[in-house]
Amino acid sequence: MANHDAVQLVEPLAQNNLSGVLHVAYGEVDLAANPTAADLIRLVKVPAGALIIGGEIWLDEIDTDGTEELEIDFGWAANGGGSETFTTSTGITYTNAFGSASSDGIRNSGVIPTEAAQTTYEPHTASGYYYKLGIFTTGPKFCSRDTIFQGTVIAPATAGGTGKIWARMEYLVVKF
């Protein structure tokens, strides 16, 4: 029988009171008017040295006429960190995942569907949706510098256009 230890068992990731503590960056935007194409919806800022392990985005039903046109892709702004890395004393190397901007690195939403037609979103209320972030197919993602996660409006709503968008990112601090 062998032990397969997580790096946290052999080495604290950060030598301070933040080590091993799950942090949450939370943001919400109240759309008081229908956004237009190319508008940015800046949702959440994750600090430098964070290892993002999960998150979700929730949306009210913003396009309300039954013939939805609203499309918002979710991604991030370039954080200026290029391909900076952080290597633990046990040899695990984390590379900045957010050096280049990506308008749809979290989710290329397509037209956000009506409640009856939705298949890629999960209902979170009687009229709204949420989805888990789609960037973690190869494990957690490292931010070498502060990183802003945002939505880019591709097409506005045909009716309504108001409501809230919430975002939550879960992360561990691994480097200061």
Across the chain, which has 176 residues, the per-10-residue mean pLDDT values are 44 55 87 88 90 84 76 89 87 90 81 54 49 67 91 87 86 78
2 occurs within a structural domain = no
109: left (phi over 0), alpha (psi -120 to 50) or beta: alpha
- pLDDT value, residue 61: 75
Question: What residues make up the domain containing 61?
Answer: 27-166
The pLDDT, as a whole number, for residue 74 is: 87
Q: Which pLDDT does position 126 carry in this prediction?
A: 45
In a domain, 174, yes or no: no
pLDDT of residue 68: 73
Is 20 inside any structural domain?
A: no
pLDDT in the model for residue 22: 86
- How many structural domains is the chain composed of? 1
For residue 98, the model assigns a pLDDT of: 94
Domain presence at residue 155: yes
Would residue 8 count as lying in a domain?
no
Q: How far apart are CA 154 and CA 38, in angstroms?
A: 6
CATH number for 102: 2.60.120
pLDDT of residue 147: 93
3 found inside a domain:
no
Q: Is residue 5 part of a domain?
A: no
Residue 175 falls inside a structural domain = no
